[in-house]
Amino acid sequence: MTQVKRRANTKMVPVQSDAIVPERDADKAPVLEARHLGIEFGGLKAVDDFNLTIGKTEIAGLIGPNGAGKTTVFNLITKVYEPTMGAVLINGRDTHGMNIVQASKLGIARTFQNIRLFDQMTVEENVRIGLHNQIKYNMFTGMLRLPGYWKQEKKQHERALELLHIFDMEKLADEQAGSLPYGAQRRLEIVRALATKPSLLLLDEPAAGMNPHETEELMENIAKIRDQFQIAILLIEHDMSLVMGVCEGICVLNFGRIIAKGTADEIQANPVVIEAYLGKKKEGQA
């Protein structure tokens, strides 16, 4: 495991049954509660009995070997898939039967493992799509260029630049999103997601393809985002330095089931996790 430079030093406390959240969030309603969540694809249980609670300002990590079902969990939370078992509660509201858009309006935003930007639109326009439900005017106002159009467009523009500033990307505002370098595309996805004013931000492998320097920067930014926006963040990541460095609660998934939950220290010491990652040690080898 790579050298861990920074460690979140949060005391985690149980809130109900086995769920834990940071101590500072203990008296606030959790952002996300996944209860016995599961989905089957043609008889195969991709995710089974998944339970997770995330505190209001928690940075949580979801890790596990490839194919463990991490992205599927994201898809269940964001309602890309309708779970076949269990429930997802966002800010205490059951999302049963909701679609992606409704879930988004409840305050979930995400990035994607395989980047999904609006390639043919500019960077600013991408962020403005994130602002779609924040700064509004109707179609006719737009078609007829009524005063509301100019006012709201200006607001959108200013807000978009503000958001881009988080990653110092204002200068790229007019570039076509599809032509950005890889790292910038990943950062843009985060900005776009933040624009929707989420209470829970899901990051799917935000550090994939980044160099160590970029990763470190990202790590700082993730913490900064949480502090600035006071939101919860759940991230999937293979880069353990990032996960261990920034995540307060960590949940380990293997074959669709949770095999361990806890703080970074607890997870690192957990033999089941080590086994899942390194494979079962053969007897006699040790």
Partner 1 sequence: MIFLDNLINGLSLGSIYAIIALGYTMVYGIAKMLNFAHGDVIMVGAYIAFCGLQYWGLPPVIAILAAMAVCTVLGVTIEGLAYRPLRQAASLAVLITAIGMSYLLQNIALMIWGANPKFFPPTFINSTTFKLGQLNISSATVITILANIVIMVGLTLFTAKTKMGKAMRCVSEDRGAAELMGINVNRTISVTFAIGSALAAIAGVLLCSSYPTLQPTTGSMPGIKAFTAAVFGGIGSIPGAMLGGVLLGVIEIFGKAYISTELGDAIVFAVLIVVLLVKPSGLLGKPVREKV
Partner 2 sequence: MTKAKRNRLIYNIVTYALVIAAFILLQSMIANKSISRSLKGQLVPICSWIVMAVSLNLVIGISGELSLGHAGFMSIGAYTGAVVSGWLLNSFAVESTLLRLVLAILAGGIMAGVMGALIGIPVLRLRGDYLAIVTLAFGEIIRSLVNVLYIGVQDGHLCFSFLNRNMPEGVTMLVDGAKGAVKIKPISTFAVGFVLILITLTVVLNLVNSRAGRAIKATRDNRIAAESMGVPVTKYKMMAFVTAAALAGMAGALYGLNSSTVVPTQFTFNQSINVLVFVVLGGLGNVLGSVISATLLTVLPEVLRAFSDYRMLVYAVVLILVMIFTNNPLIRSFADRLIAPLKQLLRGKKQGGDEA
List residues binding partner 2 (CB under 8 A).
78, 80, 99-101, 104-105, 109-110, 112, 116-122, 124-126, 128-130, 132-133, 135-139, 141-145, 149, 152-153, 156, 173-174, 192-193, 195-196
122 contacts which partner out of partner 2, partner 1, none, CB within 5 to 8 A by kind? Answer: partner 2
The first and second tokens of residue 146, run together, are 């009524």
Find the distance separating the first CA and the last CA of the chain, reported in whole Å. Answer: 19
71 binds, among partner 1, partner 2, none (CB under 5 to 8 A by kind): partner 1
CB of 228 to partner 1, least distance (A): 28
CB of 112 to partner 1, least distance (A): 7
Nearer to partner 2, 1 or 139 (CB): 139
Helix-then-strand count for the chain, H and E: 10, 12
Contact of residue 208 among partner 1, partner 2, none (CB under 5-8 Å per partner type): none
DSSP summary character for residue 61 = E
Interface with partner 1 (CB under 8 A) = 71, 75, 80, 112, 114
* 209-212, long-range: CB < 8 A, 24+ apart: 209/182, 209/183, 210/183, 210/186, 212/241
Cα(67)–Cα(276) distance, rounded to whole angstroms?
12
| Inter-CA distances, 157 with 65, 103, 116, 129, 165, Å | 41, 25, 22, 11, 12
Minimum separation from the CB atom of position 202 to partner 1 (A): 12
Residue 1 vs 144, nearer CB to partner 2 = 144
